[in-house]
Structure formats: C-alpha cells, structure tokens
Structure 1
Amino acid sequence: MSRRRSSAALTRALQKVTRSMLRAGQRAAGDMMRRSAKAVAHHRAPSAGKGDWIAGQAVGPAGLRRFHLFRPQGVGKAERLPLLVMLHGCGQTASQFGQSTRMNPVAVRERFLVLYPEQERSANPQGCWNWYDTRSRHADAEAATLMQAIEQVCLLYPVDAEAVAVAGFSAGASMAALLAVRYPTRFRAVAMHAGVPPGRAQSAAGALAAMSGRRHEAGAPLPDNLPPLLVIHGRDDHVVAARNGRDAVEDWAQAVGARAAAPRRVQRGQRLAMTVSDYRCGRRLRARLCEVEGLGHAWSGGDGGQLFSDPRGPDAARLIWRFVAERLREGRPASP
C-alpha cells in the first residue's frame, strides 16, 4: 500500500513537472515565434530611402535567384535611369546589404535604380556568391544567372540599358569583378569593396588562400576591354587581405594599358583617412584604388547597426556612385 502511494505521489509529481515544462515550452515557443516574426519582418522590410522595394526573381543556368529592386519615388514611365547592381557579401541578405551600405538614399538624391540580387542558401549555406568556383563552371553559371536578372530588370523597368554598373562587398565584390570580366561591354563601371581579384582562385581552397594573401592561383589573362574599376579596401582587413585590393587594380591596369599616378592621401572631417591611387590611359581614369586606414572587413561609411559595416570610414556608397556617374558622363572609351 505504501509502495502504491509512493508510486502515485511520484506520478503526480512527474505530471506536475511535465505540465510546468509544457507551459514553459509554450511560452518559449511563443517568444520564439514572436522573435522569428520580427526577424522576418525586418528581413523583408525595405531598406532606407523614399521609394519602392520591389521583389522579383530570375531563372538562369544556376537556377532561381531572388532579388529586390529599389526604385526612387516619382520615376516616370518615359524615364530611363542608370542601374547599379549591388552584390552582398557572405552572411548577408539583399535587405541587410541595402541597409548596411545606405545606397538607397544616394539613389533617391541622384535618381538611379538599385538592383540587389540575393544568393540562395541552397547554393551556398553561408549565402556567399560562388565567385571562385570556375573550375566546375559553377561561378560562370551564377554569373549568367545574375545577367538574366539584370536583363529582366532592364526590360521591365525604366532602366537605361547603356548605363549599368555593378558593385559588391567581399564575395559580392569578387562576383562583381567576375561579371565585368565575363561581360565587359555590358557594364560602364565596376566597384570592388574588400574582394579578391578575378582569376586568383578556382576552388574553395584556392579562395581561402587568396583571401588570406598567402598565394594566388594562375588564372586566364584579363580582356583588354574591361570597364573602369574602383577598389575600396581596408588596410586592417584580416578576412580578405589588403594586398588583394592592390593586386586587383594592378591586374586591371595592366590589362587595359593604364599607368599609375602618384598616390594622394585624402581625409574628410573625422572620417578615416584613405590613400587614393589612380591609373589612367592618357586622361581617362581606368582604375582607382582607395586604401582606408584603420578599416577592417566592413563596408566603409555604412550603418553601424549592421554586420560588416563601419560608419567611421569614408562613405563608400557616395564614392562608388561618384565614380560611376563620372564614367557615365565621359562616355565609352574607343575600342583598343
């Protein structure tokens, strides 16, 4: 009898603990659902700037890729505006990249459209563009799929198809350079922020070695009709070594026959200083390197509340658009 009473007491205690655990679990699940809903809403929210945040998708050799297009308010159907393609880095989404870079407010002020393609996690678990995977041709398939998205946006929205530029950060910078190499006549300018030069890696192992600055794989020579290149790189970048920025500009300059001018140091107010080196063919600027002192692996002048973003640096969004706008005004160079 005593044993039965003890058993019953134990059963009641277990039931009480179980009910308590269930209630706690429900509360935790509810909290988790609320946090998840908030995160999803934040993920889907348009980046800062007065305009439309338009969702879309394109299908190409690498499969489906989603994107968002930022269109400033008041754009008329008869207008044709420049398009800047922005490629995010690893661990970022299109929306987060827009918030980090603050490119949309620049687009509002200067009147251009911004396309933010987004890498699928099924294609890369970290959300990186597979810029290095040229040996298997996966990188080329992704580049072709991105071109499908660009052509689709040029067809459906008020884009000047002769005024398209591409920029990116980290893995996105390397993919932007690959796009410019594969489709050089399609872009009027390209900007790399903290990326690896094209052709310096053909596998994941090669990419890691190139990022660290240890070694580079020998790639195919670059074409001589490349669009003008802007490189922004932090001198304290310990993820993608600073030598990658210098190598990218020097490779580009050698391909197009540009010569280096004397570097100059530039500092605006309290922002981090940078050393600017220009490479020209005659009077035409064909490549520019901006090495930012004290900047790590982060978007220079970006939103400090976002990952991989440092508000202390020169405003990379403005630097990029100023570089693109100048190239658009001067027109296409004559064929070499």
Structure 2
Amino acid sequence: MAKRWMKSFFTKAMQRQVGALTRNALRAGKKASQLATKVPTRKRKRKSAVPATNHWRTGIAASPGGLRRYHLFHPTGKLPSSRIPLVVMLHGCGQDARSFATSTHMNRLAASAGFMVLYPEQDRVANVQGCWNWFDTRSGRALREATSILSVVDHICATYPVDARRVVVAGMSAGASMAALIALHHPERFLAVAMHSGIGPGMAESTATALTAMRGRIPKSATSLHAPATPLPALLVIQGNRDTVVAPSNGALAAQRWAATVGAKAVAPRTVQRGTRYAVTLYEWKVGRRAFATLAEVAGLGHAWSGGAATQAFSDPAGPDASRMVWAFAQREHTLRGAARTMQAG
C-alpha cells in the first residue's frame, strides 16, 4: 500500500512539474507576442489564418486505440485532378489544431504551394496540457497514440487524392517528439520528418526521464536508435539556442542519433541570415551528397515556432520562416529520391 501511494505521489509530482514548465512557457510566449504586437508596423488588411470553411474540414478517425479528432486544410476546397502532397502537423503542449495552424502559417503556404495539411489533435482527457505523450514508452501509451495518429493519416490518404510518396510529418515541442517517434516506427510512410524544439526518440520512457531530457541531460534509460529494415526518412531539426523549455543541446543530439543509423558524416556548418531575421547555423550529416539529417540552430529563438504569428504563444515572428524551411526540405528530399530512382532505372 505504501509503495502504491509513493508511486502515485511521485507521478503526480512529475506531472505538476511538466505542467509548470508548460504554463511558464505559455506565459513567456504571450509576453513575447504582446511585445511583438507593440512594434509599429504599416497597417494592412489582416489575412485569416484559417481560410474559408470549404478549405478547413473537421473529422474523427477510428483506430484500435480509440477515436482521434483531426482538422484538414485543403488548398482549393475541391478535389484536384492529380495527387498532391500531405503535411501532417502535430501541435505542442498548450495548443490545439486551430491555434497551431494560426501560429505556423502553414495553411497560407499550402494554399500557394498546393498541398494539404492535416492536424491531428490531442484529447485533454489523455493529457490535461494537451501534450502528446511521446515520452510514455514504458507503458506503451506513446506508441498507442502514434498508431492513432497514423490511423488518421491512413483515413485521409484513403479519402483524398494524396500522393503517398510525398507525406511529411512535422511537429512543435511534444508534437516534434511524437513526429519523430512515428517516423522511426513507420519509416516507409514518410518522405521526411521535421522536429521543431523537440526531443528525439529513445530519450525517455516516463515522465521523470522526459524531464531529465528536457533539461539537457541524457537519462540512464536512454536507448540508441537502430536502423530499421526500411531506411529512415530524412530529418530536419529546428532548434532555438535560447530555448528554456527544451534545452538547445537536444537539437544536435536528435540529429546526431538519427544520422548514426546510416553512418552519415557531419560536414562543416554554415551560417545564413535573411534581412533582420535571426541568423541560422546549418549543420548537416550526409551520405554522399544527400543530407540525411539537418540541424537548423536559430540564434535568439526561444521555445517558439520560428517565423510564426505574433498573436500566438509559442510563436516568434522575428525568426526565419520554419514552415517554409520544412516545405523546402521536403521538396529537396523528393527531388533527390526522384533522381535516385531514375539512376536505378537507368
């Protein structure tokens, strides 16, 4: 009885710590948003982050683990004559599908580039903070949630004309960690995976080890990544060097561990900057000429979507556009895979 009580006490204490971290980040995000909106700017007509109803659809998909809500953005509101790419977006703690869409501007990019965006949504009953339980691998809950998300992807691919060779999964914070976990266990389903301010798979098995990883320390229970039978998809990691929620060292660690599964080698980093936006240092791990893992370390960025909406928490408009970075990374990987198939055929 005493052991059961102590276990319950410890679990609740860990959950309170995770909740506190989330609330602190949320307050910091709101403060940053308020400061950003005070900067004088030329008045312009505000664009709706979530366009007309016929572009934004809500549904529920069934899986062995239960039902999963989702929202889908379609670039035209009509079924195209040919198959188009799909970007799966997983929100972070303190967010939902709609706020994440608003924060990232991914729908606006999809409307101009011509791809669909899927937003699976976490149930608050499963996690009171709205976090994906990416860390709970010991109990199996993490993989059950991953399976339910994949069931949503299957549902959309069966219902809409999706190009199965151009499905990308991306996420922010807890969503980033879940995106990498899904791609690790189902590599054949994805062209590329993008992690923004998250922790790589194998780094946690419980709430306690997740907190250890978030602080930049490697838990004793951390496991190495083993290359599956199907090669892993290319990985893009976007990480701010002023992140106080997920220690910045997690970005490099996630990329290095992913690269090690295929023996990719690090190349000399380079720094780029566009206008007055934060500078980005790019680190790449390559197999031949192909960048199998890429880390984009953003100078001055905290725990926020880079280049996101100023009105949202966990969003920093001063950074480079992370949504465009994700899409450009996926486009490059699609081109490289196409070239490889051509060479094999020849």
TM range (shorter): 0.7 to 0.9
Q: Which residue of 1 aligns with 2:38?
A: none
Letter in 2 for 1:48: V
How far, CA to CA, are the matches of 1:260 and 1:109 in structure 2?
Answer: 34
1:229 aligned onto 2:235: yes
Find 1:72's aligned residue among 64, 69, 75: 75
Q: Which residue of 2 aligns with 1:198?
A: 201
Letter in 2 for 1:305: T
- Measure how far apart 1:327 and its partner are: 1.0
TM-score normalised according to structure 2 size: 0.81
1:285 aligned onto 2:287: no
Q: Which residue of 2 aligns with 1:130?
A: 133
Q: Percent identity?
A: 53
Q: What RMSD over aligned residues (CA atoms) do the two structures have, in Å?
A: 1.6
How far, CA to CA, are the matches of 1:111 and 1:218 in structure 2?
Answer: 40
Letter in 1 for 2:152: A
How far, CA to CA, are the matches of 1:163 and 1:69 in structure 2?
Answer: 16
Count residues in correspondence: 290
Segments of 5+ residues of structure 2 without an aligned counterpart are: 1-47
CA contact under 8 A between 2:224 and 2:257: conserved in structure 1? no
Structure of higher CA gyration radius:
1
- Measure how far apart 1:220 and its partner are: 4.8
1:93 aligned onto 2:96: yes
CA contact under 8 A between 2:50 and 2:98: conserved in structure 1? no
TM-score normalised according to structure 1 size: 0.83
Aligned ranges 1:1-336 → 2 under 5 Å: 47-49=49-51, 52-73=55-76, 75-216=78-219, 217-223=221-227, 225-331=231-337
Q: Deviations over 1:166-223 (max 9, x none)?
A: 0000000000000010101110000000000101000011111101112333225332
Q: Deviations over 1:34-67 (max 9, x none)?
A: xxxxxxxxxxxx8434661010111223321100
Q: Which residue of 2 aligns with 1:33?
A: none
CA contact under 8 A between 1:47 and 1:96: conserved in structure 2? no
CA contact under 8 A between 2:55 and 2:77: conserved in structure 1? no
How far, CA to CA, are the matches of 1:75 and 1:233 in structure 2?
Answer: 36
Letter in 2 for 1:218: A
Runs of 4+ in structure 1 off by over 4 angstroms are 332-335
Q: Rate the CA distance shift 1:285–1:215 in 2: closer, same or farther, 3 A.
A: closer
Specify which structure has the bigger relative contact order, considering alpha-carbon pairs within 8 angstroms and separated by 6 or more residues: 2
CA contact under 8 A between 2:73 and 2:117: conserved in structure 1? yes
CA contact under 8 A between 1:62 and 1:138: conserved in structure 2? no
Q: Which residue of 1 aligns with 2:4?
A: none
Q: Secondary structure at the match of 1:230?
A: strand
- Measure how far apart 1:82 and its partner are: 0.4
Segments of 5+ residues of structure 1 without an aligned counterpart are: 1-45
CA contact under 8 A between 2:169 and 2:190: conserved in structure 1? yes
Letter in 1 for 2:308: G
Q: Secondary structure at the match of 2:123?
A: coil
How far, CA to CA, are the matches of 1:121 and 1:163 in structure 2?
Answer: 30
- Measure how far apart 1:121 and its partner are: 0.4
